[in-house]
Structure 1
C-alpha cells in the first residue's frame, strides 16, 4: 500500500504507515492450516492473524468451528510469526477462553451485535482488561443497534475500541452477499469520529472477484483498516470458500491499493475531495438502483392498468406526487425548480415504461 494517514488511538501502537490489515482463514480447520497461512502472511502488510474458532452458522449441520482447540493453534502461530491474533467471541465462555490463550483482539459478530443482552454480558466480562474489541455491524441495517453496542463497551471502560463494517442482510438479490450500505458506517463515524473503522470486504462481497474494489472504496472513504479472509487453498475451505483469497493475492492487492499522501495543503485538499466524491459515488449508485426499482414498479402498474383498460396518465396522482416531493425538497434544502425538473424526468421515464407495457401483446 501507499503511504496513509496516521492511524488513530490504539492503532498508533502498530507503528504502521498504512491502514491496518487483518487476514486469515474464515475458520481455523487444522493446526497445519493455521500455521501455514500465518507463515504466508507474516511478510505481507497483514499485522493481525484472524481465524474463526466458533462459527455461528445460519442453519445447523454446517461446519461450526473446531472450538477451543483452535485457540492453541492461534497461540502457536503468534509465537512462531510474531503476528497478533484475533477471533470472534459470542458469549462469556468464549471471552474467558480467549483471554486465557492471550488472544490480542476480540471481535463481536453481526449476530451478537443484534442482542443488547449478550453484548452487555460480554462487555461486563471484559471490564478491566486492556484487550482491543472490534464490533461488527448488526445483520440488519440498524444504526442504533450498532451505536448501542459501542456505547455498552465504552460504559464498561473498554478503551481500545473499533468497529467492523461487514455489510447488511437484504431480501433483495444484489451483486453483494451483504449490501454495504456505505452511508450507515459514515453516519456512525459522524457520531464517533475517533472510532477506528475497518472494512470486512469478504462478507460484503461473498465472492473474491470484487474484494479489491470494495477495499479501494473503503480506503477512499478514509477507513482505518481491512479484515480480509485468506486461505492457502480457498476452494477447499471448510466455510465461505467463495469469498476467501490466497495470501499471495492479498499481498498483491495491498500493493495495488491506492491512498493519497498527506503533507501540504494541496494534498490535504485532494484527500478531503476524494473522500467526499467517494461518498457521492456511493449515493449516486444507490440513486440509480432505486430508480431501477421504481421503474420496475411502474412496469407492474402498467400491467395492472392495461389489464383493467385504465389510462396511463392519472393527473390527480401526478399532482399529489409533485406536491409531496416539493415539500420534501424544501425540507431537504432543494429548490422547487430542481424538484420539478427531476420529477418531471422521472415521470416521463415512468410513462415510457408503461407505454412499452401497453404495446406488448
Structure 2
C-alpha cells in the first residue's frame, strides 16, 4: 500500500487516449479565437482545454494577456462545449477573479513556482477551495523548489494536485527552448509515485517540429500525459507562435503515440537481462569515479604545497574540449557530455579544496 501524500489526479472528463491530454492556445487572444480552438479540440475528443489569460512576460510592451476579460470565454467553453478549462494564476487576485467567474482548474507557472513567497500567498488564497491544480517546475533546475510548492498547496488542503514538466532554463543554447533535464521529474516521480506528472512538450521544444519528438520521449519515460499548445492559426498567434500546433497536427501526433503510461514491462526476461548489464556497467562507473576522485585528492595536496590555485581555467577548457571531442567520436550527445564533465570537474574541485584544507 502506497504511503505517498499525493493521489493520482482525476479530471472531470476522461481522456479518449490512454493518457491525459490537455490542449489549447498559449494565450486566449479573442473570444472567437479561443472558442474556435476549443470547438476543434472538442471535435477531436479532447476535453481538457488550456488557455492563459494572464501572461507574465520578461519585458514590458509585449502582449500580456486579456486578463479578466477572458474569464467568461472559458466559462462559455465549459458550459457550451462540456470541456474543463484551465488557466494560469499567478496572484491571489487572479485566484479570486477566476473562482468568482466559476472556474476551478488552474496551473501555476514556472516563474511563480520559483518564488516560495508567491506560492505561500497562492496557497492561502486557495485554502478551503475545491480546485484542481497543476504546478509547473520552476525555471531553474531545483527539485526542492518544485516539491516544496506542491507540498505548500497540499498543506493548504488542496488534494487535486498534479505537476507539469516544462523544462528548465540553463546556461547556453541547446536543441530545445528549455532543457528537459529528465532526471529531475523522474526523481520527483520516485519520491511521489502516486503524483500525476504531465509533460509540456511545447515549452520544452520551443519549435513545433520538435513537439512530437519530445512528446514521444515523455511518454516513453512514463509521464501521465501531455499539455500541448494548440492554435487554429499558429503563425498568427500573439504569443509563442513557433511552438504551437494546429488541432489536426495534434491529432496526428496523438494517433502516432502507441505508448500506455501504466503498462507493466517488469516481467520481460529480455529487459531484465539488459538492465542487469546496465547495473554492471553502473557499478564499474562508480568504481572508476571513486578512483578518479582519489587522484583529485592527490592533486589537491600538491597544489596546496605549491600554493597553486585549485581552479585553473586553461586546464578546465582543455578537459572539456578533449572530452567533448572524444565523446562525440563515440556517438555521445554534446550537451550531455558538457553537463557530465562540468559536474565531474566541479566535484573534483570540491574534493581538492576539502583535501588541501585538511592537509594544511
What TM-score comes out, normalization by structure 2 length?
0.73
**Aligned residue in 1 for 2:67:** 67
- How does 1:1-361 map onto structure 2 within 5 Å? 9-11=8-10, 14-16=13-15, 18-260=18-260, 267=265, 269=267, 323-324=295-296, 350=322
Q: Following the alignment from structure 2 to structure 1, what is the Cα–Cα distance between the partners of residues 24 and 323?
A: 52
Q: Following the alignment from structure 1 to structure 2, what is the Cα–Cα distance between the partners of residues 115 and 262?
A: 33
Unaligned stretches of 5+ in structure 1? 1-7, 285-318, 327-345, 355-361
Q: Following the alignment from structure 1 to structure 2, what is the Cα–Cα distance between the partners of residues 220 and 102?
A: 36
What TM-score comes out, normalization by structure 1 length?
0.72
**Would you say the 8 A contact 2:25–2:50 is kept in 1?**
yes
**Would you say the 8 A contact 1:189–1:195 is kept in 2?**
yes
**Would you say the 8 A contact 2:53–2:70 is kept in 1?**
yes
Q: Following the alignment from structure 2 to structure 1, what is the Cα–Cα distance between the partners of residues 270 and 155?
A: 32
Q: Following the alignment from structure 1 to structure 2, what is the Cα–Cα distance between the partners of residues 95 and 125?
A: 7
| 1:187 Cα deviation from its structure 2 partner | 0.8
Q: Following the alignment from structure 1 to structure 2, what is the Cα–Cα distance between the partners of residues 320 and 19?
A: 44
| 1:47 Cα deviation from its structure 2 partner | 2.0
**Aligned residue in 2 for 1:302:** none
Q: Please give the per-residue CA displacement for 1:52-106, whole angstroms capped at 9, x wherever unaligned.
A: 1000001111100011011111111122211100000000000011112222311
Q: Following the alignment from structure 2 to structure 1, what is the Cα–Cα distance between the partners of residues 154 and 238?
A: 35
Q: Give the SS at the match of 1:269.
A: coil
Identify if the C-alpha distance between structure 1 residues 39 and 142 changes in structure 2 by more than 3 Å, giving closer, same or farther: same
Identify if the C-alpha distance between structure 1 residues 187 and 272 changes in structure 2 by more than 3 Å, giving closer, same or farther: farther
**Would you say the 8 A contact 2:26–2:52 is kept in 1?**
yes
**Would you say the 8 A contact 1:45–1:254 is kept in 2?**
no
Unaligned stretches of 5+ in structure 2? 1-6, 283-290, 299-317, 327-360
Q: Please give the per-residue CA displacement for 1:156-178, whole angstroms capped at 9, x wherever unaligned.
A: 01000000000000121101100
Q: Please give the per-residue CA displacement for 1:159-218, whole angstroms capped at 9, x wherever unaligned.
A: 000000000001211011000000000111111111100001111111100101111111
Q: Give the SS at the match of 2:86.
A: strand
| 1:350 Cα deviation from its structure 2 partner | 3.1
Q: Following the alignment from structure 1 to structure 2, what is the Cα–Cα distance between the partners of residues 206 and 325?
A: 43
Q: Following the alignment from structure 1 to structure 2, what is the Cα–Cα distance between the partners of residues 85 and 197?
A: 18
Q: Following the alignment from structure 1 to structure 2, what is the Cα–Cα distance between the partners of residues 271 and 135?
A: 37
**Would you say the 8 A contact 2:14–2:47 is kept in 1?**
no
| 1:18 Cα deviation from its structure 2 partner | 1.4
**Would you say the 8 A contact 1:50–1:87 is kept in 2?**
yes
Q: Following the alignment from structure 2 to structure 1, what is the Cα–Cα distance between the partners of residues 262 and 145?
A: 34
Give the length in aligned residue pairs.
Answer: 286
Q: Give the SS at the match of 1:172.
A: coil
Q: Following the alignment from structure 2 to structure 1, what is the Cα–Cα distance between the partners of residues 79 and 324?
A: 66
Deviates more, 1:92-101 or 1:8-17: 8-17
**Would you say the 8 A contact 1:20–1:46 is kept in 2?**
no
Q: Please give the per-residue CA displacement for 1:302-348, whole angstroms capped at 9, x wherever unaligned.
A: xxxxxxxxxxxxxxxxx97772499xxxxxxxxxxxxxxxxxxx98x
Q: Please give the per-residue CA displacement for 1:220-256, whole angstroms capped at 9, x wherever unaligned.
A: 1111111100000000000000000001110111111
Identify if the C-alpha distance between structure 1 residues 115 and 133 changes in structure 2 by more than 3 Å, giving closer, same or farther: same
